Chains A and B, each alone.
Chain A
Amino acid sequence: MNKYAKESLFKVLMIVSVLIIAASLLLILGICIVKGGYVILKDPKLIVTAPGPKYLLGGEGGLLHAILGSIYMVIPSTIIATFLAYLIARFLQVDYIRQKWSDRIRVLFDVLWGVPSIIFGIFVLNVLIRIGGRGCLLAAIITLALLQLPIIVRYMDEALSAVPNGIRESMYSLGATRLETSHVIAKYALPGITAGVLLGMGRAIGDAASVVFTAGASNALPTGLLKSASSLPLLIFMQASSYYPSVRDHAYAASFMLIAIILLLNICSRASAKRFRRFTNGGKNL
């Protein structure tokens, strides 16, 4: 086989594989949007009704509990994780700690990133058993915060490290403390920081494995921090292979909402990157 034949052979193979990937993607988006959208359009009240007493047996009711549960879990956990991650990521910069040590801590967070989310769930469940608690909203928030922390730390760390040294040095030469320098550096790194936070949020909102043990997974509206709760991905997991078609339909509706949220987060991430770029010295490097 000469080199030109080989070239065209691999070109065909490449196009085939791109088509495979595009097809699987369109299929997933199509199923969620068409099938889920159809369920929601047919009965829009689904989104605002609480589940009835025989909900899982094909009884009436909507999926408000999962929507509220997702919101109550994800927003506080993202706020907690962002706050902690900022402190850690800022600490990992050269002005606080030596390169050798910060590299070691980075390896730790890389490992934590790779840990399957179910292990975080098991860990929190263990702590719960130890203190005699049950699965509740608070435990789910803590688990999701743990899950997001390594992701957000990694992105923030990358964004903060990419800030030109000139900015740091000119702040210090004016006599600013490290804390005051942080404000300027953080503003410069804002596009990267928001991207990381939104990415962590996206991971948390779609994760079922970590909350399956810790949230309690009830079909009641979440009423308190120590009460059990449910979330959209949990609802999909529990109801996807249900015997009752009407219960299965709710899983499709939930997947539609999840996909919509993920798309929205993606758009937000792009928009914020564009908007916050004006802080970075007019887009020019120092």
Chain B
Amino acid sequence: MKIPSFRHPMDKTVKWIMVAVTGATALLFVLMVLLLAQRSQLVLSETRVGDLFLSSTWDPERGQYGFLPAVIGTFVVTAVSMLIAIPVSLLSAIYISEYAPPKIKTMVQSFVDVLAGTPSVVYGLCALLVIVPVVRDFVGPLFGVKTTGMCILTASIVLAIMVFPIIISITVEAMTALPLGLREQFLSLGATKWQLIEIVLMRAAGPGIISGVILGFGRALGETMAVAMVIGSKNVITLSLLSPGQTLPSLIVGSFGEMMSVPLQQSALLFISLVLFIIIIIFNILTGYIKNYLKKRWRFE
């Protein structure tokens, strides 16, 4: 006689629970996009999309919502911060992985771990205390500009510091994973260590390095709190790095007080977050493709 057992029904049940949870999460993702799209209908029906992106007047009282300053601000801040972050963090990652003695290596890596886990508001707070006065009292007068210190440059510096640990940890990981033979062969030809790094290692570790840079870029693009604390939040287009500006995420946070009351503004802000969301999605998918392409292109075996 067969003894009844609950083992197999149990296994089946748990499997279906797993299917349900995974499916629900995937569905939630779609729901997020749909809900944001549906709620931004209102502003889209009032204003044309072109006007939203190309107008620079942000005047909620007259129902005008121009994103152009925030869009430009976002790209300027991200670009400047990456210009600072990429050389500094790549050079130090190379130093950590290739030159530093093992003792310093473990020490620096635990430091980088802490830096990566530090909340963004803490960066903002420290920037308010240190970078803002420095920019106000030294950098501003140096260029003969009067500035409050709350400006695009400050925000870019903070973002660069936030991006350091991301790029460093991924680059170090990618370079440490390279086989020893690769180094030995090239060094035996009489190359210097820097030639080895420049010609061989940077390419062999290229896919890893680039995905680290792109990950840092994505973080800088979506970072909200630290930027909102130091950028000065002014909806104007400026050419100077030393004047206050605005980014898309800081615009959302900055206007959230009034957000509840005016439906049109609420809708406009939701449209911004939808745009941000879609940019991030495209970005992430592109990263995957670029990484795969480079892996094939810079194959070293």
- A interface residues with partner B (beta carbon < 8 Å): 3-4, 6-7, 10-11, 13-18, 20-22, 24-25, 27-29, 31-32, 35, 84, 87-88, 90-92, 96, 105, 107-108, 110-112, 114-119, 122-123, 126-127, 146, 149, 177-180, 199, 202-203, 205-209, 212-213, 233, 236-237, 240-241, 251-252, 255, 258-259, 262-263, 265-266
Contact = CB atoms under 8 A, between A and B. Distances in A.
Contacts of A108: 26, 29
Given A25-B115, A91-B18, A108-B26, A117 B125 contact: no
Provide the main secondary structure of the chain B interface.
Answer: helix
Contacts, number: 221
Contact of B7 (A119, A127, A180): A180
A192 to B, nearest CB: 15
Contacts of B8: 177
B114 interface: yes
Contacts of A179: 7, 10-11, 14
Interface-central residue, B122, B218, B249, by most chain A CB under 10 Å: B122
Contacts of B99: 11, 14
B276 interface: yes
Nearest to A198: B117
Nearest first, the 8 A-B pairs at minimum CB distance are A206-B119, A116-B222, A91-B18, A177-B11, A14-B95, A209-B224, A17-B91, A236-B121
Contacts of B222: 114-119
B91 A127 contact: no
A105 B8 CA distance: 26
Nearest to A106: B288
A262 B110 CA distance: 12
A15 B161 CA distance: 17
A209 B253 contact: yes
Interface stretch (B31-39, B46-54, B136-144): B31-39
B61 to A, nearest CB: 22
Contacts of A92: 22
B59 interface: no
Given A17-B88, A105-B26, 18 more contacts: A7-B194, A14-B95, A21-B168, A28-B161, A87-B22, A91-B21, A107-B285, A112-B29, A115-B280, A116-B280, A119-B276, A126-B36, A126-B39, A207-B120, A209-B224, A236-B121, A258-B121, A262-B118
Interface in B1-51: 7-8, 10-11, 14-15, 17-19, 21-22, 25-26, 28-29, 32, 35-36, 39
11 contacts: A6-B194, A7-B193, A11-B194, A91-B21, A111-B29, A115-B280, A116-B224, A206-B117, A206-B119, A236-B122, A240-B125
B294 interface: no
Contact of A14 (B92, B111, B114, B277): B92
B210 interface: no
A112 B281 CA distance: 8
A258 B122 contact: yes
Interface in B81-130: 87-89, 91-92, 94-96, 99, 108, 110-111, 113-115, 117-126, 128-130
B12 to A, nearest CB: 9
Contacts of B35: 123, 126-127
A255 B32 contact: no
Contacts of B298: none
Interface of B: 7-8, 10-11, 14-15, 17-19, 21-22, 25-26, 28-29, 32, 35-36, 39, 87-89, 91-92, 94-96, 99, 108, 110-111, 113-115, 117-126, 128-130, 161, 164, 168, 191-195, 215, 218, 221-225, 228-229, 249, 252-253, 256, 269-270, 273, 276-277, 280-281, 283-285, 288
Contacts of A146: 28
Contact of A255 (B114, B125, B224, B288): B125
B249 A118 contact: yes
B93 to A, nearest CB: 9
Provide the main secondary structure of the chain A interface.
Answer: helix
B192 A14 contact: no
Contact of A258 (B28, B36, B119): B119
Given A21-B88, A118-B249, A4 B192 contact: yes
B115 A149 contact: no
Nearest to B224: A209
Contact of A15 (B95, B253, B256, B281): B95
Contact of A207 (B119, B161, B285): B119
A27 B91 contact: no
Contacts of B95: 14-15, 17-18
A219 to B, nearest CB: 16
A228 B126 CA distance: 28
Nearest to B288: A107
Nearest to A213: B256
A111 B281 contact: yes
A21 B89 contact: yes
Contacts of A105: 22, 26
Contact of A18 (B32, B92, B110, B124): B92
A123 B121 contact: no
B10 A28 contact: no
A87 B280 contact: no
A113 B183 CA distance: 35
